[in-house]
Homo-oligomer: A and B are copies of this chain.
Amino acid sequence: MRQRLGALGVPVPDWAEVGDRSALASFLAAHGGAAVVKTPRGGYDGKGVRVVRSAAEAEDWLAAGPLLAEELVDFRRELAQLVARRPSGDVASWPLAETVQVDGVCAEVIAPAPHAGRLADEAREIATAVADGLDVTGVLAVELFETADGGLLVNELAMRPHNSGHWTIDGAVTSQFEQHLRAVLDLPLGDTSPVHPVSVMVNVLGGPAGARMPDRYPAALAAHPDVKFHSYGKESRPGRKVGHVTATGVDAPTTRERARAAATFFDA
């Protein structure tokens, strides 16, 4: 992925493939003594990712094979640009979203990303270049860092409907799921406009202990008649994504507060 993105001219963190301790030590020395190492497979929701400050800290993973080492990016926040592309080449992009990660797992998404300014255009251009360059069919989420100096770097790609786009179910004219079907059927893509000034999605992580998410619906729905609740039908388990809630509103702070309040009904 890093090779292909580099060839496309898309901004990415400095990186190297490291096959042993000395290669990782050199990378660390060249990047301020810290790096993110990633296993080539099995990485999601913070799994297969580790921040290291010495080569010894990656010794167990290096024993299994080469790793990807990346600079530890100094970022202000994380963003996600969702686009869809059909085989005939049309690309549609939703508004840039801000994603809030906790312990490597997406906790909240705010769309549009507040105060994005020119980054909204840059992110759309990057995601479109990636979708075109990789000949993507369907929905693609490009996860980005907004760096301390106000630039963008591509963090990860997700070539599918993605957690960062769940807000579109309730908050956009065309949801990422409808759009994915349009795209893979090579049908014209739908309008990606938001239908509310702000949408905030909060993941339900873990879920209520000894219960399922719908068991808490009577209280949650009564308190929040205008919030949309989505249960994935999963058993509760610490850290597991068992559902999400989406609030829509007129400004980010109050909408976020309402979404968070609704999600607390499913705390363990």
Using a CB–CB cutoff of 8 Å, the interface residues on chain A facing chain B are 173-174, 182, 187-191, 193, 195-196, 217-218, 221-222, 225-226, 228, 248
Identify the 7 closest CB pairs spanning chains A and B, nearest first: A191-B226, A188-B222, A188-B221, A191-B225, A195-B195, A190-B225, A187-B221
- Could you say which residues of chain B place their CB within 8 Å of the CB of A222? 188
- Could you say which residues of chain B place their CB within 8 Å of the CB of A226? 173, 190-191, 193
A35 to chain B, nearest CB (A): 44
Tell me the bound Cα distance from A174 to B187 in angstroms.
28
Tell me the bound Cα distance from A189 to B182 in angstroms.
32
Q: Which of A187, A217, A221, A225 has the most CB of B within 10 A?
A: A225
Tell me the bound Cα distance from A148 to B248 in angstroms.
41
Tell me the bound Cα distance from A195 to B199 in angstroms.
13
Tell me the bound Cα distance from A225 to B191 in angstroms.
5
User: What are 23 A-B residue pairs whose CB atoms fall within 8 Å in the complex?
Assistant: A173-B226, A173-B228, A173-B248, A174-B225, A182-B221, A187-B217, A187-B218, A187-B221, A188-B217, A188-B218, A188-B221, A188-B222, A188-B225, A189-B225, A190-B221, A190-B225, A190-B226, A191-B225, A191-B226, A193-B226, A195-B195, A195-B196, A195-B248
- Could you say which residues of chain B place their CB within 8 Å of the CB of A190? 221, 225-226
A229 to chain B, nearest CB (A): 9
A89 to chain B, nearest CB (A): 14
- Could you say which residues of chain B place their CB within 8 Å of the CB of A248? 173, 195
Tell me the bound Cα distance from A190 to B218 in angstroms.
12
- Could you say which residues of chain B place their CB within 8 Å of the CB of A174? 225
Tell me the bound Cα distance from A228 to B190 in angstroms.
9
Tell me the bound Cα distance from A218 to B173 in angstroms.
18
A225 to chain B, nearest CB (A): 5
Tell me the bound Cα distance from A217 to B218 in angstroms.
40
- Could you say which residues of chain B place their CB within 8 Å of the CB of A195? 195-196, 248
A248 to chain B, nearest CB (A): 8
- Could you say which residues of chain B place their CB within 8 Å of the CB of A196? 195
Tell me the bound Cα distance from A248 to B191 in angstroms.
12
Tell me the bound Cα distance from A195 to B195 in angstroms.
7
- Kindly report which residue of chain B lies nearest to residue A191, judged by CB atoms: B226
